[in-house]
Structure 1
């Protein structure tokens, strides 16, 4: 059995535990939390404080880091890489090279393997972008996100002073999706492809105008998009925005010869963003353990993972049933 550490137990951590429960070759060794362990209820996994992480270094095979990308994973993954082979879902695309370098240094120093930015985007969508570019070199790729709730962006909202709770929806612009399918989306700007809607619960007396201005100016998250901020009560947020759905699609449109075109499409429709992201992280954690057993050390991405390493099935079964 592959023994898994879940580092952080918010929506994503719970999704990871749910995903592990559906495997036959993995089990949760421990959930690590910054909170009082006595106050954390899991599906059955034991809970320990993050300060005691070193006690589990020789009792686990891989650690899945479940913090937020805005502030947590930048510190969480390098720290965990000193103790474990690790996986994270770091999703601030513009900062991936910086994060990769920091994690690689920590993992190399400890002799561990760590794979960053594994989820569905970055992650599965990244793999499809590479596949589309390789198969149809004469073409263009367009990625759309939503409609749905972004965990990372919602987390970034909740970290703003004066914000008690928040949900952020990413919405693709329908006309832009149609343009991508016909191969005429090359000139579309970031702002023309998506909009963002934020529902925010502000603290009593908080400066709502300042909160809205900070949201709309936030780099990487909202500054490049038409963003709508709606202030609601905690009751309204709970009643109308309790779910965490998401999805999106990658479209590669290219020419195989003069006047002959082909389109590759990959689409996700997710009832629960954190549960699906957790399922991806669990599959990638399996691959990390196998890669580490072969002696690999340092940082990796999903581009370095084989389908065979992701799967719990034997090579013989894959060839017989899936090829």
Structure 2
């Protein structure tokens, strides 16, 4: 039985609690939160203060870290990897190499293992980009997200001073997608591929102009995209923009042989982004514990881990049923 701690209990943490119920080889030790534990309503799990986590070290095989990438995970993952095996969903693509190096040093020094940047992008999409470009070396890879709610981008909005709440939609350019699949050669920029739509609730004294400027100039999140900012009431946000759909696709167009056109496409259509991301985290938590038991330390990503480590099924059964 793999013993799991959930660190952080927002949408992703709730998704992890649900996902663990579908994995009988895993048990939940508890939810660890910065809020007062008696104010946290879980789906059955015991809630503890963050300060209690290290005291339960002997009861925990892996911590699944459910904080945001903007400010939580850059600090939490290296800090907690000093004492625990960890899995996170750090998704600021431009900063993944830096995050990896920091966490890898901590894991090597403390004989623990961290699996970073899991989820679906980075995560499953990363794997499919690797497979596709390896199989079609003559070609181009394109990643499209949405239409849907980005948890990471929404969290980044909520961290802006003056913002009370916010939701961000990523909307792909379908015309570009269809042209690429048809074999059309295009010089596609980041701005061409997606549009970002933000719905923002201001704090009582929030400065709309300052908030909008902070959004559209935010590097790694909005500065590289055409971004629409809409200021609305909390009531409207709660009514119209609290569902969590998302998805996207990885597209590789290339040629083989004598200029034969080939297309590889991997697609996700998700009714609940946090629940799906949580399910990926849980599978990689299983892999993390198994690899740690084999003596691996430091940091790893989805690119380093063989698929069999994700499954609770024995290797010989996987070969029989899936190959």
Q: Report matched runs for 1:1-323 at 5 Å.
A: 1-184=1-184, 186-323=186-323
Measured in 2, the distance between the counterparts of 1:57 and 1:269 equals: 37
| Residue 258 of structure 1, CA deviation | 1.8
In the TM superposition, what is the alpha-carbon distance from 1:184 to its structure 2 partner? 3.5
SS in 2 for 1:253: strand
Distance in 2 of aligned mates of 1:42 and 1:206: 32
Give SS of 1:57's match.
helix
Q: Give distance in 2, aligned partners of 1:167 and 1:242.
A: 8
Name the TM-score, length of structure 1 as normaliser. 0.98
Asked if 1 retains the 8 angstrom alpha-carbon contact of 2:283 and 2:311, the reply is yes
**Does the 8 A contact of 2:217 with 2:223 survive in 1?**
yes
- Does the CA-based 8 Å contact 1:250-1:267 persist in structure 2? yes
CA drift at 1:319: 1.4
Cα deviations by residue, 1:248-268 (Å, 9 ceiling, x for unpaired): 000111111123121111000
Report the Cα offset of residue 320 of structure 1: 1.6
Q: What SS does the aligned partner of 1:118 have?
A: coil
Q: Which moved more, 1:83-92 or 1:204-213?
A: 204-213
Measure how far apart 1:182 and its partner are.
2.9
Across the aligned residues of Structure 1 and Structure 2, the Cα RMSD in angstroms comes to 0.9
- Unpaired runs of 5+ residues, structure 1, are none
Task: Point out the more displaced range, 266-275 or 175-184.
Answer: 175-184
Q: Provide, for residues 266-302 of structure 1, a one-character-per-residue CA deviation record: whole Å limited to 9, x for no partner.
A: 0000010000000000000001111111100101100
What CA distance in whole angstroms lies between the structure 1 residues aligned with 2:93 and 2:182?
26
Q: Give CA-to-partner distance per residue, 1:28-70, whole Å, 9 cap, x none.
A: 1111100001111212121111112111211011111100000
Cα distance between partner residues in 1 of 2:256 and 2:210: 52
> How far off its partner does 1:117 sit?
0.2
Q: Secondary structure at the match of 1:127?
A: helix
Counterpart CA distance in 2 for 1:182 and 1:293 is 47
SS state of the match for residue 5, structure 1?
strand
Is the contact made by 1:247 and 1:270 (CA closer than 8 Å) also made in structure 2?
Answer: yes
State the secondary structure of the residue aligned to 1:129: helix
Structure 2 unaligned segments of length 5 or more: list them.
none
Q: Distance in 1 between matches of 2:34 and 2:204?
A: 27
Alpha carbons of 1:185 and 1:239: their partners in 2 closer, same or farther (altered >3 Å)? farther
CA displacement 1:47-97 (0-9 Å, x = unmatched): 111112111211011111100000100001001101111100000000001
TM-aligned CA deviation for residue 186 of structure 1 = 4.7
**1:214-240: CA deviations, max 9, x gaps?**
100000000000000000000110111
Contact 2:183–2:261, Cα closer than 8 Å, also in 1: no
User: Is the CA contact (8 Å cut-off) linking 1:142 and 1:185 kept in structure 2?
Assistant: no
